[in-house]
């Protein structure tokens, strides 16, 4: 037994330095990835890290006998193989767009801003009254394809007599990519104005959800864009500007985050290349236009399962074990680089409150009971926009309010229809501006 223990200790003593050498070279590689911003698909970090490791191994080998002189190079080879997996693309590096949908044709419109966006049109149902003002839907993301769940909701709105248009923002879904530095929240607002102009139908009603609600809020604060808007529905907004993005606060009632089963399907983040790229981008250690993973490759690689708990957080805790499939793998599209870039421009922007206070476009705010958004993001808009005529607190739903469960789609349509047709609200006007302090203290 003592002999076995001595042998084990001896082997461990030889293994630990080798393991430390591998870890050190990997850490050096990751540090160089950050310093070089992933230049050359990571080769700008891999070659120097390999050179440093080889130089150290060469120095150590000189003090050894001829028979074991090559041993210090083994950890270098292992580390080089591990880090090389971060440098080799496994997804196409040119954009692979989702296939056409079987139930609606994707048109492609070139806007005056230069953006080429995928457009979906659901004409009003033939039977029943038709509403003359077109209704435009701005989906969340920020740079994400419109999910099949959202498409079903848009079809429901069309059956109520609305002439529904939706477009995927530049870089999302079937829309063309932009150079990374052109993704800004201001560009998104200009694209909205250009889209309404392209409709050539006069003013349009706008339904903005999540980050789409941020675009809409900022459009309301821009007089030239607001002049194109007839009525506005701000649903579950994110932070509207830098000061709002920096506020502390609380979310709605408990969501399914941490309670729902893990999302099934492949994850790009299980591969070293994309785990490193997306992880460092999210931490702010790599820029959105990093040379490690190009925008097109990142969009091709990213899967719905990579969103992880972000999807479950859009549902109430009570729905944790019946979250619907929001999309298919073939239709899903999300651009992490473009989304982070737009979010950063929101965080870097000055307050829009002074301009929002001059808004005159009739607006409605929609809040979810189990919202995963900070309540202060929505209440700031409510406090600053004098043209918000009503707030509808939607019970029994999370951030994704039209989720196909328990008639939630129909309830959302009823709320939207009542506002657009200037009918009495089906739910209490809550919270009002005066009730904001009470609402926040109640942590609803």
Answer yes or no: is 301 within a domain.
no
Whether 252 and 154 map to the same domain: the answer is: yes
Q: What is the span of the domain harbouring residue 21?
A: 2-84
Last residue of a domain, one of 51, 84, 117: 84
Whether 50 and 117 map to the same domain: the answer is: no
Whether 359 and 235 map to the same domain: the answer is: yes
Whether 204 and 144 map to the same domain: the answer is: yes
Confidence at residue 309, expressed as pLDDT on a 0 to 100 scale = 81
Answer yes or no: is 271 within a domain.
no
Write the CA distances from 262 to 301, 308, 313, 333, 404, integer angstroms.
19, 7, 12, 19, 20
Q: Are 205 and 122 in contact (CB under 8 A)?
A: no
Whether 72 and 117 map to the same domain: the answer is: no
Q: Are 342 and 211 in contact (CB under 8 A)?
A: yes
- In DSSP notation, 219-274 reads HHTSHHHHTTEEEEEEES----SHHHHT-----SS-BSTTTSPPPPS--GGGSHHH
Tell me, what CATH number does 348's domain have?
A: 3.40.50.1820
Whether 80 and 121 map to the same domain: the answer is: no
Tokens representing 290? Answer: 């990093």
Whether 168 and 240 map to the same domain: the answer is: yes
Q: What angle do CA 366, 371, 372 make, to 5 degrees?
A: 135
| Cβ neighbours for 307, distance < 8 A, ≥ 6 positions apart | 263, 334
Per-residue pLDDT of the chain (444 residues; tens, 9 = 90+): 455 443 444 444 456 777 887 888 889 999 999 999 999 999 999 999 888 878 876 776 666 555 555 566 787 888 888 999 999 999 999 999 999 999 999 999 999 999 999 999 999 987 878 999 999 999 999 999 999 999 999 999 999 999 999 999 999 999 999 999 999 999 999 999 999 999 999 999 999 999 999 999 999 999 999 999 999 999 999 999 999 999 999 999 999 999 999 888 899 989 999 999 999 999 999 999 999 999 999 999 999 999 888 899 999 999 999 999 999 999 999 999 999 999 999 999 999 999 999 999 999 999 999 999 999 999 999 999 999 999 999 999 999 999 999 999 999 999 999 999 999 999 999 999 999 999 999 988
Answer yes or no: is 331 within a domain.
yes
Q: How many separate domains does the chain show?
A: 2
Answer yes or no: is 7 within a domain.
yes
Confidence at residue 9, expressed as pLDDT on a 0 to 100 scale = 41
Whether 334 and 392 map to the same domain: the answer is: yes
Answer yes or no: is 285 within a domain.
no
Answer yes or no: is 269 within a domain.
no
Residues 87 and 100: their CA atoms lie apart, in Å, by 32
Answer yes or no: is 279 within a domain.
no
Whether 80 and 111 map to the same domain: the answer is: no
Tokens representing 394? Answer: 């939607």
Whether 173 and 52 map to the same domain: the answer is: no
Residues 369 and 420: their CA atoms lie apart, in Å, by 22
Answer yes or no: is 99 within a domain.
no
Q: Are 98 and 174 in contact (CB under 8 A)?
A: yes
Whether 340 and 208 map to the same domain: the answer is: yes
Whether 79 and 143 map to the same domain: the answer is: no
pTM of the model as a whole: 0.92
Strands 135-138 and 164-168: parallel
SS3 382: helix
Last residue of a domain, one of 69, 84, 99: 84
């Amino acid at each position: 037994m003592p002999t076995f223990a001595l042998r084990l200790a001896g082997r461990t003593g030889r293994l630990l330095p080798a393991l430390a050498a591998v870890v050190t070279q990997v850490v050096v590689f990751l540090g160089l990835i950050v310093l070089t911003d992933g230049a050359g698909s990571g080769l700008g970090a891999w070659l120097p890290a390999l050179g440093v490791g080889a130089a150290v191994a060469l120095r150590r080998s000189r003090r050894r006998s001829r028979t074991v002189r090559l041993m210090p190079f083994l950890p270098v080879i292992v580390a080089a193989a591990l880090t090389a997996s971060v440098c080799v693309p496994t997804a196409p590096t040119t954009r692979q767009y989702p296939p056409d949908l079987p139930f609606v044709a994707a048109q492609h419109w070139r806007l005056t801003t230069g953006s080429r966006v995928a457009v979906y049109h659901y004409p009003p149902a033939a039977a029943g009254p038709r509403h003359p003002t077109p209704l435009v839907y701005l989906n969340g993301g920020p740079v994400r394809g419109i999910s099949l769940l959202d498409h079903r909701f848009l079809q429901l709105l069309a059956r109520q007599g609305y002439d529904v248009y939706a477009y995927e923002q530049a870089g999302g879904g079937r829309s063309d990519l932009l150079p990374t530095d052109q993704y800004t929240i201001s560009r998104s607002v200009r694209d909205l104005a250009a889209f309404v102009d392209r409709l050539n139908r006069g003013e349009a009603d706008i339904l903005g959800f999540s980050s789409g609600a941020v675009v809409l809020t900022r459009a309301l604060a821009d007089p030239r864009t607001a002049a194109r808007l007839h009525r506005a529905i701000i649903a579950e907004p994110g932070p509207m500007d830098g000061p709002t993005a920096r506020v502390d606060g609380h979310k709605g009632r408990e969501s399914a985050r941490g309670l729902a089963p893990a999302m099934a399907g492949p994850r790009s983040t299980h591969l070293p290349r994309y785990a490193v790229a997306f992880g460092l981008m999210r931490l702010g250690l790599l820029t959105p236009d990093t040379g490690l993973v190009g925008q097109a490759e990142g969009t091709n690689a990213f899967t719905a399962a990579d969103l992880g708990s972000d999807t479950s957080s859009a549902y109430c805790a009570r729905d944790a074990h019946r979250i619907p499939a929001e999309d298919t793998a073939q239709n899903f599209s999300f651009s992490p680089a473009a989304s982070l870039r737009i979010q950063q421009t929101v965080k870097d922007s000055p307050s829009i409150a002074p301009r929002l206070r001059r808004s005159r476009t009739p607006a409605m705010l929609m809040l979810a009971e189990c919202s995963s958004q900070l309540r202060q993001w929505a209440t700031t808009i409510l406090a600053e926009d004098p043209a918000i005529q009503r707030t509808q607190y939607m019970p029994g739903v999370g951030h994704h309010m039209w989720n196909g469960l328990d008639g939630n789609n129909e309830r959302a349509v009823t709320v939207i229809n009542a506002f657009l047709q200037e009918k009495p609200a089906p739910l209490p006007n809550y919270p009002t501006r005066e009730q904001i302090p009470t609402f926040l203290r109640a942590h609803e």
